[in-house]
Amino acid sequence: MAPQIRLTDVTLRDGLQDEARTVPTASKVDLALGLLDAGFRSLEVGAFVRPDRVPQLADTAEVLARLPRRDGTCLSVLAFTPGGARRALDAGADEIRLVVSASQAHSTANAGASIDVALRRLEDAARVVTAARHPPRLVGAIAAAFLCPVDGPTPTGTLAAIATRLRAAGVERLSLADTLGAAGPPAVAAGVRTVREAAPGVSIGLHLHDTYGRALANAWVGYEAGVVDFDAALGGLGGCPFMPGAAGNVAAEDLLGLMDSAGLTTGIDAGALLGLLPSLAALVGHPVGSRVSRAPAPVPAATPVADDGGLSPASGTSS
C-alpha cells in the first residue's frame, strides 16, 4: 500500500512574506479556514521574526489565536532564535520550525549570522522548546540545502554537518529547502540520501520552489527516495526576500495533481483548493495560478493495462 502523503500549505508564511500588499489578519484566518476545509491537516501560519524585516508576518500570534484547533491538524510557525521560539511557545504553536541556511551568503542575509552562529542560536532555541512542559513538535528546516546563487552548489559535507547538529538538538523532521528553485532531481536525490545517512531515524521533508519549473520533478524524485512530507503554497505564491532570483513555491494544486495522478492519498479536495484561488488573487492584488488551474478538467489517474502486442485491428492506421 502506498504511504499517505502529508502536504503542508505554507501560503500564510512563505506565500505572503514577499508580497507588497499587506493582507489583513482576518483575511489570513479566512484563508486558513478554507485550506483546512479543503482537507489540509498541516498549515504553516507565520513566523516569529523581526517585524521590521518581514512586516507581513507581524500578526502571527494573532492568527494562531483566532484559528480553531481541530483534531489531527498541525499549525506550524517558523523561528530563528530562542526569543522567537519562546514567542511560538507562548502562542501555542503545534509545531516550531527552526531555520538555518546551508549557504554562508544566504545565512548572513537571512539570519544576520554565519552558519555556525545561526546553528548555535537554533540549538539554544531547541533547548527552550524541549524544556517546555508540553513541547510542540520540533522541525529543522535547512534553507539553500542544494544551491545558492552566490555560493553555488551546497557541499554535501555542509548539509550532513547541519543535519547531524539538528538531530542532536532534538528535531523530529528535517525539511530540505530548494530556496532558489534551481536544483535538479540528481541534487535533490543526493541531498535526501546525505541527510538520511547523517541523521538516521529523523524523517525528511522537502520545501521546493519552482523558479525554473523543476519542483514537480524534484518532488517525485523525493517521493521515490521515501519522502512523504512536502510543503507547497496555494497559487504558487512565495519567494525569499533574502535570496536573489528566488521565485514562488511549488503550487499546492500542482503538487496535489501530481500525487492524485499517481493514485497517492493526500486527503485534500482538488476542487475545493482551486475554488480558493480567486479570493487569494484578490487579497494579494495580482493574478495567481498554476498549471492545474489553467488546464481542462482533470482526468482520472492512469491505470496500467496489459500489453496487447501492438496495435489492435480496430485501431487502423490513421494518426
* CA separation for the pair 257, 251 (Å, rounded): 10
* CA separation for the pair 257, 300 (Å, rounded): 10
Q: Is 308 helix (H, G, I), strand (E, B) or coil?
A: coil
Q: In sequence order, which residues have a C-beta less than 8 Å from that of residue 20 and are 6 or more positions away?
A: 285
74 in catalytic set:
no
Number of C-beta neighbours around residue 166 at 10 A: 27
Closest CA to 166 of 192, 143, 141, 145: 141
- Using CB atoms within 10 A of its CB, is residue 189 exposed (0-12), middle (13-18) or buried (19+)? middle
How would you classify the pairing of strands 173-178 and 6-9?
unpaired
* CA separation for the pair 188, 207 (Å, rounded): 11
Number of C-beta neighbours around residue 94 at 10 A: 17
Q: Which of 102, 240, 246, 256 is catalytic?
A: 240
Closest CA to 182 of 151, 227, 156, 144: 144
* CA separation for the pair 206, 192 (Å, rounded): 9
* CA separation for the pair 43, 8 (Å, rounded): 5
How would you classify the pairing of strands 147-148 and 152-153?
antiparallel
- Using CB atoms within 10 A of its CB, is residue 141 exposed (0-12), middle (13-18) or buried (19+)? buried
Catalytic residues: 240
